[in-house]
Structure formats: C-alpha cells, structure tokens
Structure 1
Amino acid sequence: MRLLLLFIFFITPFLVKAGPGDSVYIDEVLLIGHKKTRPRVIFREMTFGRGQQIAREELSLEIDRSYNNLMNTGLFASVDIAYDTASAEMGSTVILVNMRESWYIYPVPEFELADRNFNVWWNEQERSLDRVNIGGKLTHYNVTGQRDRLKVGFTTGYTRSMEASYGFPYLNKAGSIGMSVGFSYQRRREQNYLTRNNRQEFYSDPNTFVYRRSSAQVSVSYRRKIYLSHSFGIGWQESQIADTIAELLNPEFYGDGRQSQRYFRISYDMSNDRRDIRNYPWKGTLLRAGISKDGLGIYGERDGLEVHADYQKFIPFWKHYSFNYALAGKYSLIRTQQPFLENRAIGFGSNGLIGYQFYVVDGLDMMIWRLGLRRELFKTKLDLGKLVFIDAFRYVPIRMAVSLQFNQGFANAPFVDDSNRLNNNLLTGFGAGLDVILYYDMVGGVQYNRNHLGEDGVYLNLNMSF
C-alpha cells in the first residue's frame, strides 16, 4: 500500500494538466504512518483538502498552518508535509503527509506536592515528605483513534482523591460537535482556610479529613472550522469543612458559619486559538472569553456570576526573535462577598505574576498585563537510536531560548483585611530565563525573578503536556 501511494506521488508531475498560473489544485492528500489515528481526524485539522484550489503564494502558508494544527493535537511525534514543486508549477499536485504517532497511553505513578507550586514546597514547607500525595494516573489520549481522551486516577497520602473523565471531540460526521464528562472526589487532612499577609493559612488534623469535595460536570463543544470553538457546560459540586474552620477560624469560608455548600454551575466559554505552538508560542494570537454562573437557586447556598477573558499576541521579527504581550482579567457581576475558595484572583492557575510565586491575592476582580521577549538560541533534533525502543520517543526535538518578561497586575478585593497589603495595589515583576522545549510541547526552564518589593530569586518552571 505504501509503495502504491509513493508511486502515485511521484508520477503526478507527468499526469497533471496545466492549471491557472496563479493557483494550485490539490489532486489528492495521501497519509502515511498513521496506525491508530483515523484519517478523518487528520483531515479535520488540516486547512486544505482534496479538490481544493489554493493560490500558489499561499500554499506554503497553508502547509505550515496544517503542520502546526496537527502537532498541537498532541497525537503525533513528528509530521512532514511535502509536495512536488514541478507539478505545482503546472497547476496541480498531490500532498504527502508523513507522520509518526505519539505514545498515547501514560500509566504514571503519581508523586504530587500538596502545595501550590514546587518553590512553595521547597522553601516554605522545607521539602516535607508529609506534604506529598502518592498514587497513580492512567491517561489514554487516543482511545478509539478519534482524539478521545480517557483519564482515571487515584491518590492517597496527604490528600485522597479519585477522578475519571472522558472526552470525545468528534461526535458528528463533520467533527464540529464534541462532548466530555467528568467526576472527582477529594478528601484532605489540611485545608487552606484564610489568606493573611497574602500567604495561605492552613488548618490540619492528622486524625481526620477536614475538607471533602465531590463534583461532576458535562460539557458540549462546537467547533465549525478549526480555530474558533465554543463550549457549554453544566456541573454540580458539594463540599464540607471541619466545624473548627466554619465556627472559629473563618466563618466566612462558606458564609454565615456554614459547614457545607452545594450548588449547580453553568458556563459558556469561547476560544479563538491561532498560535503556532500552544505550549510555547512564537507567532499568532489567542482570544478566550467566558461567563459562568455558580448557584442556580436550587439549593440557595451559592450565588456568583463572573465574566473572564484573556488575549495573547506573539509577533516574530528578524530571524530568531519573538515579542509578545497579553491581557487577562475577570469581573464579578454579583458584588456581594463570595465564599473563600471562590474568591481567587492572582496566583492561581494561569493567573500568576512573575516574582510573586510565594504570594496569593484574592479578589472579586482582577487585571493582569504582560510583555515578553524571546530569543531562540538553537533548534535541533537528537536521534537516540537503539537506546529507546519506543519509536515515538526515539527522536527528540530540542529547542532552547532565552526570555525576558515584564508583568503588572491588580486585584480588587473590597472584603479583605488590612494584613493583605498586595490587594488593591499595583503589582510589578520582571524576569529573565533560559527555556528548553522538548518534543514540541514540553517546556522547562530556569528563571530569575524580581518583584516591586525588592524580593528576587531563581526558580524552576515546568509545563508538561501530559
């Protein structure tokens, strides 16, 4: 079969008829190397297909976009898209897509820190092994060959948890509708109950669990083309805390000294992602926006309504440089005091600021803006040969860059006490780092950071796609 495909590819220049001088007709798109992934998944992520007429000057651009789209799926270790230039000059050509699939099954023994990040555990908690979780997680990124993801996991130790989720992105023939479901259950012996001096205060009891949470969610996505997607979700959550927290340490944890909270949640999110490499972009834009409503009046224990958005822009210039800027924010449309865990702003998830790794800033509203500059040092591919028996890991793409970053942010927090001096103030941080990118989407680095308080340090950063 492979010999037949190659034969068709090489004889095309002698069979095609002359076409319009300013465009190229795609006679065929031939796929090689996909053993698990179904062809419709591959074609769904490409910007062109069989029978399409493309302006000649745009053909290379469309190939680059299709390459990035396929690599961003995480399904492939490498992709090579080629065509015969001689036949293209005559007006039509055959596109050959040669790929090596990634390793899809990751049974990972889990050694997880109970703290927000590695630097907090290493410095503030003095590398205590009592603050780690041990367990296992199995993730399959391509169960049926249709980019459907299954995740199951459990954890024991400092925290005990169970989780399961499944997402199927191509429910209909056009591949525009997807669906995901998930469930999680968690029990902790220690719980953050208050923020003081912009540090998390914890209550622990080695003999019992002081926090329990169960949650379930279902979401439906719609992606008519490639870059723009919409997601609609509904979820349910129930949680309980120890009476010591509710009655003594922080009666406003849930509000009015309550020990439990239940609510339903609905949400809508939009994403227009045109970045070339999602874990370490060099070119392109990202726009995300959404709205979520916590509490639908069924239990009467939660009432929150939030809008959020972020925008990122990456601009390459000269040969090895890229400039980027970004804005991110959230606004609470219901202005009453929210439960403690739902009043997060700076320092959680992707809303971090350079130089403030050891701080958290709660608030109803938040705004962050960022500037960055990257300079690529080199890019190569390491062939491990017979040292690695799994083909997906045999060739290691390596990219190294230096980066400069400048961040500012502000969190509006009308209900915090005076001890949290970072709230309601402009925060400024900058950093310089060395970044290493492996396998296209695994990013690690070492970074020097400094904030407006005059505090500085060297920190590790890791962003692993699995």
Structure 2
Amino acid sequence: MYKRILLGISPLFLLLLETLPVYSQYQLTYSDTTFVVDHIFISGNKHTKNNIILREIELKKGDTVYLHALLNKIEKSKQNLINRSLFNTVDITPKRHDFNKVDLYVEVTERWYIWPIPILTYADRNFNVWWETNDFSRVNYGVNLKVYNFRGRMETLNVILQGGYDKTVSFDWRDPYVSKEQKWGVELFAGATFNHETDYKLDKNKLVYYHEEKSYSKKRISGLVTATYRPKYYFIHKLSFGYDYWEFADTLLQLNPDLAYSHSRFSYLSLEYNFKYDFRDYAPYPLHGFYAEADLKQDGLGLLSKEVNLFSLYLVFDQYIQLHKRWYFAYSLTTQLIPNRYQPYFFQKGLGYDPMGIRGYQLYMVRGDWIGQFRSNLKFAIVPKKSFILRFIKTEKFNRFFFGLYANVFFDGAYASSRTPYKNNSFLNNTFLYGTGVGLDFVTFYDVVIRAEYVFNKNKEHHFFISFVAPI
C-alpha cells in the first residue's frame, strides 16, 4: 500500500520541477524516478566560451540521475562556476518535458574582465608595518594590467610595470585548458625586481633594512613554467620548474655574512609540486566546506650555483562549518618544515610572510625550521549575503550587487621551532604564541573582502588591523 502511495506521489515531484523556483527545488529529497538530461542551454555568456561553462557543470547531456542527485549536482555546478571568478551570478534551472527528460537552463552574468590597476603601494611587507612609519618615500607607483577570462577561455594575463621606490617588470600568463579534454593547463611567468632597500637581519623579531641610495641593494630575475592537471572539479595538481638569479650589494654580505651563500651573485633551478583539494562554497569568503593543500619544493637541483640546496614542505587543512542559522565556525591547521641545517637568511621562512602568520603578530617576523599554526573563527552573520539590482547602473556587470556583514571572535596560535632561537635577539622562537580578539568582515561582489580587527597577543600588546582577504 505504502509503495503504491509513493509511486502515486512521485509524478508530483515532476510537476514541482517545472513550476517551483530554484531555491524551492532544493527542498526536494525523494524520488524513485530517474531523469535524463536532454539538453543544456546557456545564456548570458557574451564573452565566455560555452565549453568553459560546460566544463564546470557536473551533469552532461545523456546523464541519468535520481532527483536528489540532480539537485545536488546542480548546486555543486553553481558552486564550481562561482568559484572560477568569471561571473557575478549563476542560475541553473531544470525544466521537465516528456515525463522524465530534463533540460538545464544555465544563465550567467559576466564580470568586467579588463582591469588596468594603478600601482600605489608600500615597499614594506604588509600595510600594517608601513602604517607604523607613514613614510611616503617608500611608495611604489606604476600600472598592473590584469585581464581575466582572456579570449573567453578563462585564461589570465597579468603584466606589471612599476617604478618608484622599487622597480618591477613582470609577465604572467595562465591557460587552464590547453588539452582538448580540458584537463591539462600551462602557466608561464617571467619577471625582474630591483630594490633600493633590503632587509638583511632580524632584531627582536623585526626586520632591519639596508638602504643603497644610488644603486640597487638587491636584484632578482626569475622565470617559471608550470604544468597543471585538473581531472575533475575539486582536485588540481601543479608541477613547476623555475629559474632564479639573485644579486646582493657587497655591503649586505659584510653586514650579515649569513645573508646568502659565499658570494653576492648566484643562480639556481627549482622544482615544485603543489596539490589542492578545494571544496569551499565561495572561495574568497567560505562559510561551508573544506580546503586542503600540500606543497613540496626543492630549490637547487645540483646545477648552476651548486651550493644552493633547500627543501621545504607546506601543509594546510581548513574547514568551514555552519553551527546554527547565522552562526559559523572555521579553523585552519598549517605546518611548514625546512629540514636543511643551513639556511641563508634570504631563504629562511617564518611567521609573518604569506602564507604563514597569526593575528596579533603581523608586525613581527618569526623564522623557524619547523612552524605549526592554528587559526579559528566564530562568526555571526549580522547581514547574511543579500543580492540587489542597482537599476540606476545600466551595465549588468556592475548592477547585480551583493554584500554581507559578519561579526567574529577569533583565537590563533603558533609555534616556531629554531635551532638558534636567540640569534639577533629573537625572543619569539621556541615558545607558544597566540592572539585573540574581535573583528568585523564586509564581503561584496568581485571577491572583495574587507576586515577590521582588534587583537591582543601573548606579549600583552594590542593593535587594530585592516586586512583585505578572508582570515581562513
């Protein structure tokens, strides 16, 4: 009897598929009827090629799926497309016909892709360090031309021409799909940087700089070729082969004999493997899902300057959990390991340089052979993400607007192990560090995140910081 009732109800789900809005369809969880994907129609992509969009949709023409799998794959496909940073909005609507056939209607709103961005930056390692001095002579200027979705193929072109305090010229081109099956990609980078001022040691875990007025204290020329492999939707592998040339002023080696190797000029090759598993709902500011990354790099392959030999390992795992309605929790576990006993100063890693760092110690540099860190956030959605259409703006690339506002409390901790913890008066190594505080996050379209935080650290210091990326 119950089976007959359920069989009688199932056609109602077919009717609902055609009549209910997308957000209501996701409430449906039962159907013993399978559906065949008949056609996929795409609209709104004036620049983006159809095959780029179809690559992110987890349903293909001819697929046979149950209702719950259909709706789940539609949601994941929307997530895939949004996380490519090509579109402001993505809607996928299933419509039934011929009893069990379903057509998918994909509607996208494309972003603005060409950004000639003026460069007006600080020479220091982050905004908060520069703000301590407010020294405008340490400002760089120029132009950074960013072209996203180049040729409508999700390629990225990035050209930097920078003058001012430091000089930089670079070219970066990334094509995610050079193979017909859209799995293999390639990335090419070449650049040169010339710095008047270079840090050469630490004093009480803060950088000490040397300034060369008439010439450059540091020169770097580098190139990188990367092969990428993305077999499905969430995994990506990268294998990179790089070349680096460094030149330091002789005075720097006199000030710190451990700054580099035995001479002021050297070059080396490097090999790096990177793996990412990204299952976040919205990568610029995630609320659900998880992210994992592993990176192995060998600097120095026994060629060119043979004394260069450094191995590093980086691991990270992030998770994002919705606790209840507007309450969310996120945490991040990260470690970095450099087993080599001798590390020249310019090669050394530590807290304070991306990607390592905890809130409360943004003004410090804590170098170490092994670093472990933990970051956590408990947040409340004051204003959950809301979408608006700004009708006074004519172009849809900017009139479809959303924003969200989140209050949060956080606690971060880290430990940096060093074989020589007290060298150069470093007092933050080999001890547990932590920072805690409150913050306010503003999120809006074009992947913009603005964070304001007030933080206290273990050293009884308190600071106000502004940041422009998600904390985890």
The TM-score with structure 1 as length reference comes to 0.91
Percent of aligned pairs with the same amino acid? 27
| Cα-Cα RMSD | 1.9
Question: Which of the residues 143, 156, 164 maps onto 2:163?
Answer: 156
Write the deviation string for residues 318-362 of structure 1: whole angstroms up to 9, x where unpaired.
Answer: 2112211211111123x2221212111111112110111111111
Separation in 1, partners of 2:312, 2:437: 31
Give, in angstroms, the shift of residue 91 of structure 1: 2.7
1:186 to 190, 193, 203: 193
Runs of 4+ in 1 over 4 A off after TM superposition: none
Q: Give yes or no for the alignment of 1:51 onto 2:62.
A: yes
Q: Distance between the aligned counterparts of 2:174 and 2:235, measured in 1?
A: 18
Alignment equivalent of 1:122, drawn from 113, 128, 131: 131
The residue that corresponds to 2:367 in the other structure is 362
Equivalent residue number for residue 450 of structure 1: 456
Contact map agreement 1:26 1:92 (CA 8 A) in 2: yes
Asked if the contact 2:205–2:365 (Cα under 8 Å) also holds between the matched residues in 1, the reply is yes
Q: 1:430 aligns with which of 436, 442, 447?
A: 436
In structure 1, the residue matched to 2:71 is 60
Residue 351 of structure 2, aligned match among 330, 346, 350: 346
Contact in 1 for aligned 2:32/2:66 (Cα 8 Å): no
**Match of 1:277?**
282
Which residue does 1:4 correspond to in 2? none
Q: CA deviation at 1:409?
A: 0.6
Tell me, yes or no, if the aligned pair for 1:254 and 1:261 is still in contact at 8 Å.
Answer: no
Distance 1:318 1:58, change over 3 A: farther
Tell me the distance in 2 between the aligned counterparts of 1:131 and 1:430: 31
Residue identity in the other structure for 1:102: R
In structure 1, give the amino acid aligned to 2:90. Answer: V
State the distance in 1 between where 2:446 and 2:286 align. 10
Distance in 1 separating the partners of 2:63 and 2:286: 29
2:323 is aligned with 1:317: yes
**More off after superposition, 274-283 vs 47-56:** 47-56
Residues 174-216 of structure 1: per-residue CA shift (max 9 Å, x gap): 1100000100101011001111101010000222111100000
The counterpart of 1:384, out of the listed 370, 380, 390, is 390
Distance across 1 between alignment mates of 2:260 and 2:420: 14
Q: Where do residues 256-267 of structure 1 align in structure 2 (5 Å cutoff)? A: 256=262, 258-267=263-272
Is structure 2 residue 147 aligned with structure 1 residue 137?
Answer: no
Q: How does 1:405-444 map to 2 (within 5 A)?
A: 405-416=410-421, 417=423, 419-439=425-445, 441-444=447-450
**Within 5 Å, which residues of 2 pair with 1:31-110?**
31-84=42-95, 87=97, 90-110=99-119
Partner residue in 2 for 1:176: 183
- State the AA in 1 paired with 2:77: S
Letter in structure 1 aligned against 2:219: R
Following superposition, the deviation at residue 440 of structure 1 comes to 5.7
C-alpha distance in 1, partners of 2:44/2:191?
37
Partner residue in 2 for 1:230: 237
Inter-partner Cα distance in structure 2 for 1:92 and 1:399: 38
3-state SS of 2:280 partner? coil
Question: Is 1:372 paired with 2:377?
Answer: yes
On the 8 A contact 1:284/1:313 being kept in 2, the answer is yes
CA distance in 2: counterparts of 1:273 and 1:213, whole angstroms: 32
- Structure 2: unaligned runs, 5 residues or longer: 1-14, 20-30
Q: Give the length in aligned residue pairs.
A: 441
Correspondence for 1:3: none
**Partner SS, residue 201 of structure 2:** strand
- Give, in whole Å, the separation in 1 of the partners of 2:407 and 2:283: 18
- Secondary structure of the equivalent of 1:174? coil
Paired amino acid for 1:49: K
Secondary structure of residue in 1 paired with 2:149? coil
In the alignment, which residue of structure 2 is the partner of 1:197? Answer: 204
Q: What displacement does 1:58 show? A: 2.8
Deviations 1:205-262 (A, max 9, x none): 2221111000000000111101011110000001111111112x11101134x21221
Letter in 1 for 2:226: S
1:254 to 243, 249, 260: 260
2:201–2:424: 8 Å Cα contact kept in structure 1? no
**Residue among 307, 329, 339 paired with 2:335:** 329
